[in-house]
């Protein structure tokens, strides 16, 4: 974290199959986040905030593709303060152990996925500073104290 690394994050990042934490916050990476990041089946924490990543968040459709279904151990995802656009993939709500999700300060649009927060583990959610629309889902009311 907090170096002056630049360029794009190479697809070969997916070759680090035993990686538990990826912390590249506060650098100068640009381009898109490679979908091969879904190959990191033991990943617990992904921190890519405060870079210049652009494009869409790698696809996590309703049914998580095989390469991403191995992220069942992920507990924290921080993609804040980038240039990401498009909608929040529905499949992020399928990550069973996700406790912290920070997608703030991007250019995300559309509605918040219905499944987000239904795993019962989510403790921190920051979607501020985006262009999201729609209403909060009824299951969020049941989850609040």
Q: What is the pLDDT of residues 44-102, one digit of tens each?
A: 999 989 999 887 776 543 333 434 445 789 999 998 999 888 888 888 888 899 999 99
Picking from 79, 74, 73, 76, the residue whose alpha carbon sits closest to that of residue 57 is 79
Give the pLDDT of residue 61: 38
Tell me the pLDDT of the chain averaged across its residues: 84
Report yes or no on 85 lying in a domain. yes
Contact 124, 99 (CB under 8 A): yes
Per DSSP, helices labelled H in 1-145 are 66-69, 138-143
Report yes or no on 1 lying in a domain. no
Picking from 67, 71, 104, the residue whose alpha carbon sits closest to that of residue 88 is 104
Q: Which of 33-47, 48-62, 126-140 has the highest mean predicted lDDT (pLDDT)? A: 33-47
Strand-pairing partners, residue 28, are: 6
Taking residues 111-135, report their average pLDDT: 90
Q: Which residues constitute the domain of residue 84?
A: 6-140
Give the pLDDT of residue 142: 54
Q: How far apart are CA 9 and CA 130, in angstroms?
A: 23
Give the pLDDT of residue 128: 97
Give the pLDDT of residue 75: 94
Give the pLDDT of residue 65: 40
Report yes or no on 123 lying in a domain. yes
CATH number at residue 60: 3.80.10.10
Report yes or no on 61 lying in a domain. yes
* pLDDT-based confidence at residue 120 (cuts at 50, 70, 90): confident
Taking residues 38-46, report their average pLDDT: 90
Report yes or no on 145 lying in a domain. no
Give the pLDDT of residue 139: 60
Q: Name which residue leads in pLDDT, 20 or 89.
A: 20
Number of compact structural domains in the chain: 1
Q: How far apart are CA 79 and CA 46, in angstroms?
A: 8
The predicted model scores a pTM of: 0.82
């Amino acid at each position: 974290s907090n170096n002056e690394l630049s360029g794009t994050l190479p697809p070969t990042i997916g070759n680090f199959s035993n990686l538990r934490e990826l912390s590249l916050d506060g650098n100068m990476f640009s381009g898109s986040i490679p979908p091969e990041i879904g190959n990191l089946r033991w990943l617990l924490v992904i921190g890519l905030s405060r870079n210049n990543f652009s494009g869409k968040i790698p696809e996590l459709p309703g049914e998580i593709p095989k390469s991403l279904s191995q992220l069942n151990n992920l507990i924290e995802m921080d993609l804040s303060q980038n240039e990401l656009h498009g909608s929040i993939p529905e499949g992020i709500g399928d990550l069973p152990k996700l406790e912290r999700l920070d997608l703030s300060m991007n250019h995300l649009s559309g509605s918040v996925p219905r499944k987000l927060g239904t795993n019962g583990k989510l403790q921190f959610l920051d979607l501020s500073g985006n262009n999201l629309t729609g209403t909060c889902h009824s299951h969020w009311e049941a989850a609040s104290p």
